[in-house]
């Protein structure tokens, strides 16, 4: 399994983006992504052109759509359920999510706590959270300066509260890419641990929760139980758990690289434990938990300590 750089939330001129599907694919290729998902607002009009352009450029383009409603936005990727958004209501959103999943799609709660009206109608998610509990992913970070500021902190906390309730939701980042951004402001990347960069493999890996979000850090993270190693997203057997982590600086991340790492934390339903870590050095935390365990990586960037990466969970206790 290898971790691929992916961008799962993008727009084109088919909705309110500034790039044509071909320009988006060209730009994503230049930026070094292995896969992107096209998620225009309530339309798949650009998907075929983007997929065709991707085939020419060797870039995986996953068909998708952003269900854009007055109550919140969800990206739906895989391409099986493009018309379900038409009659979404706060009452049936849970059924719509389940229906999309039954058609093979991955459903992501997009930028749930971003500022809404009057800046962006429907961007702030007001759906009953219990009705979103079946979603596959949660955008803990989105758009520019994704790991900085209070929205990121609140989204991380809300995602953890879903895990605490027994939900199995992968952490993803959504650039919500609309413009060409030749000199992009600070952004992050979703790394997906898949068998290949093929669309099916990437979607399957996201469903399993083999993801982490990062600003300039590549993380090799595994859980070790009874001498056996498990990747991010795994259901772990009972027993003492060692979380092992080695990080390198991402070479292809282009702005505001972290200077050095400072510490990493293992966060479980029981609390958090921390350990110092540096680039290129392996560190371990021994932990016990019954539900979930996620890893946060901190370092120096822009001359302050920032949260630079968050993994999806390792789980115990069976699927929801
Ligand atoms: Zn949106
Ligand atoms: Zn969007």
Q: What is the CATH number of the domain that holds 295?
A: 2.60.40
Q: How far is the CA of 162 from the centre of ligand 2 (A)?
A: 22
Gap from CA of 201 to ligand 2 centroid (Å)? 23
173 CA distance to ligand 2 centroid (A)?
Answer: 12
Q: If you average pLDDT over residues 158-182, what whole number do you get?
A: 95
Claim to verify: residue 163 and residue 292 sit in the same structural domain? no
Q: Is residue 320 part of a domain?
A: no
Look up the pTM and report it. 0.96
The per-residue pLDDT for range 107-149, each reduced to its tens digit, is: 999 999 998 877 888 899 999 999 999 999 999 999 989 999 8
Mean pLDDT rounded to a whole number for the chain: 95
Other Cβ atoms less than 10 A from the Cβ of 185: the count is: 10
From 91-95, 171-175, 251-255, 278-282, the region with the lowest mean pLDDT: 251-255
- Residue 168 Cα, ligand 2 centroid: separation in angstroms? 23
Q: Are 67 and 132 within one domain? A: yes
Look at residue 111 in the predicted model and tell me its pLDDT.
97
3-state secondary structure the chain: CEEEEEEEEECCCCCCCCCCHHHHHHHHHHCCCCEEEECCECCCCCHHHHHHHHHHHCCEEECEEEEEECCEEEEEECCCCCCHHHHCCCCCHHHHHHHHHHCCCEEEEECCCCCCCCCCCCCCCCCCHHHHCCCCEEEEEECCCCCCCHHHHHHHHHHHHHHHCCCCCEEEEECCECCCCCCCCCCCEEEEEECCCCHHHHHHHHHHCCEEEECCEEEEEEEEECCEEEECCCECCCCCEEEEEEEEECCCCCCCCCCEEEEEEEEECCEEEEEECCCCCEEEEEECCCCEEEEEEEEEECCEEEEEEEECCEECCCCC
103 vs 116: CA distance, rounded Å: 30
User: Do both 25 and 156 map to the same domain?
Assistant: yes
User: Does one domain contain both 184 and 250?
Assistant: no
* Residue 114: predicted pLDDT: 92
pLDDT, mean of residues 203-230: 97
Domain co-membership, 154 together with 269: no
Q: What is the CATH number of the domain that holds 191?
A: 3.20.20.140
Domain boundary among 213, 248, 272: 213
Domain residues for the domain of 85 are 2-213
Residues 298, 192 within the same domain: no
Taking residues 277-305, report their average pLDDT.
97
What is the model's pLDDT at position 251? Answer: 78
Q: 109 versus 317: which is more confidently predicted? A: 109
- pLDDT confidence of residue 319: 61
Most confident segment among 28-32, 120-124, 315-319: 28-32
Give the rounded percent of residues in the chain with a pLDDT score beyond 70. Answer: 99
Centre of ligand 1 from the C-alpha of residue 141, in Å: 13
Residue 298 Cα to ligand 1 middle (Å):
28
Rounded to the nearest whole angstrom, what is the distance from the C-alpha of residue 86 to the centroid of ligand 2? 17
Q: What confidence score (pLDDT) does residue 185 get?
A: 72
Mean pLDDT score, 49-64: 98
Residues 308, 183 share a domain: no
Distance (angstroms) between ligand 2 centre and the Cα of 150 equals 20
Q: What's the pLDDT score for residue 12?
A: 98
Reported confidence tier of residue 196, pLDDT bands at 50, 70, 90: very high
Domain boundary, last residue among 213, 246, 262: 213
C-alpha torsion angle, residues 109, 112, 117, 120 (rounded to 10): -60
Give the domain-ending residue among 173, 189, 213.
213
The CA radius of gyration of the chain, in Å to the nearest whole number, is 18
Rounded Cα–Cα distance for residues 203 and 92 (Å) = 24
**203 and 230, same structural domain?**
no
Quick one: pLDDT at residue 253?
67
For residue 118, say if its preceding peptide bond is cis, omega within 30 degrees of 0.
yes
**How remote is the CA of residue 268 from the centroid of ligand 1, in Å?**
29
Check if the beta carbon of residue 308 is closer than 8 Å to that of residue 217.
yes
225 and 205 within one domain: no
Average pLDDT score over residue span 228-254: 93
Which ligand sits closest to the CA of 174? 2
* Per-residue model confidence (pLDDT) at position 186: 81
Question: Does the pLDDT value for residue 204 go beyond 80?
Answer: yes
Centroid of ligand 1 to alpha carbon of 66 (angstroms): 7
Residue 167 CA to ligand 1 centre (angstroms): 22
The residue ranking higher by pLDDT, 60 or 252, is 60
- Is 22 contained in some domain? yes
Q: How far apart are CA 241 and CA 289, in angstroms?
A: 8
Number of domains in the chain: 2
Residue 320 in this model has a pLDDT that exceeds 70 = no
């Amino acid at each position: 399994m290898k971790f691929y750089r992916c961008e799962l939330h993008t727009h084109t001129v088919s909705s309110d983006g500034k790039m044509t599907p071909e320009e988006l694919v060209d730009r994503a290729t230049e930026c070094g992504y292995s896969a992107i998902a096209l998620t225009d607002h309530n339309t798949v009009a650009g998907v075929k052109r983007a997929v065709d352009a991707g085939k020419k450029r060797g870039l995986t383009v996953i068909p998708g759509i952003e269900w854009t409603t007055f109550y919140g936005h969800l990206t739906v990727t895989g391409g099986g359920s493009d018309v379900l958004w038409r009659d979404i209501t706060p009452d049936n959103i849970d059924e719509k999510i389940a229906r999309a999943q039954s058609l093979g799609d991955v459903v992501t709660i997009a930028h749930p706590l971003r500022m809404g009206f009057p800046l962006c109608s429907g961007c702030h998610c007001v759906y009953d959270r219990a009705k979103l509990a079946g979603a596959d992913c949660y955008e803990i970070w989105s758009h520019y300066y994704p790991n900085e500021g209070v929205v990121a902190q609140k989204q991380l906390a809300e995602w953890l509260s879903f895990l605490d309730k027994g939900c199995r939701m992968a952490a993803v980042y959504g650039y919500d890419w609309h413009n060409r951004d030749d000199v992009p402001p600070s952004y992050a990347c979703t790394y997906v641990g898949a068998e290949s960069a093929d669309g099916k493999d990437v979607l399957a890996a996201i469903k399993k929760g083999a993801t982490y979000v990062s600003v300039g850090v590549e993380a090799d993270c595994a859980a070790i139980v009874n001498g056996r190693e498990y990747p991010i997203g795994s259901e772990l057997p009972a027993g003492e758990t060692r979380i092992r982590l080695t990080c390198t600086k991402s070479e292809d991340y282009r702005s505001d690289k972290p200077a050095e790492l400072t510490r990493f934390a293992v966060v479980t339903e029981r609390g958090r434990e921390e350990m110092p870590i540096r680039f290129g050095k392996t560190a371990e935390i021994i932990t016990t938990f019954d539900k979930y365990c996620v890893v946060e990586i901190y370092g120096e960037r822009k001359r302050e300590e920032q949260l630079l990466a968050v993994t999806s969970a390792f789980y115990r206790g069976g699927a929801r």
